[in-house]
A = this chain, B = another copy of it.
Amino acid sequence: MSSCDTCVVRNRAICAGLDNQEIAALNTMGRRRAVSAGEPLIWEDDDSLLVANVIEGVLKLTTSTEDGREQIVGVAYPSDFIGRPFGQTSKASVVALTDARVCVFARNDFDRFAREHPELEHKLLERTLAELDRTRSWMMLLGRKTAPEKIATFLLEMSERLNETGCAVKLGPARRFSLPFSRQQVADVLGLTIETVSRQFTKLKNDGVIELPSRREVEILDRPALVSLAG
Contact = CB atoms under 8 A, between A and B. Distances in A.
Interface of A: 61, 63-67, 69-71, 73-74, 84-87, 91-92, 115, 118, 121-122, 124-126, 128-133, 135-140, 142-145, 190-191, 231
Contact of A133 (B87, B133, B136, B144): B87
Which 7 interchain pairs have the tightest Cβ spacing? A143-B191, A118-B118, A142-B142, A73-B136, A71-B140, A69-B144, A71-B143
Copies of the protein in its oligomer: 2
A140 B73 contact: yes
Given A139-B138, A231-B67, A87 B129 contact: yes
A67 B140 CA distance: 13
A139 B144 contact: no
Candidate in A67, A121, A142 with the most chain B CB atoms within 10 angstroms: A142
Nearest to A143: B191
A84 B137 CA distance: 14
24 contacts: A63-B137, A64-B140, A65-B140, A65-B231, A71-B140, A71-B143, A73-B137, A73-B139, A73-B140, A84-B133, A85-B129, A86-B126, A86-B129, A118-B121, A121-B122, A125-B128, A131-B132, A132-B135, A135-B135, A138-B139, A139-B139, A142-B143, A142-B191, A143-B191
Nearest to A149: B65
A122 B131 contact: no
A144 B63 CA distance: 10
A205 B135 CA distance: 34
A105 to B, nearest CB: 16
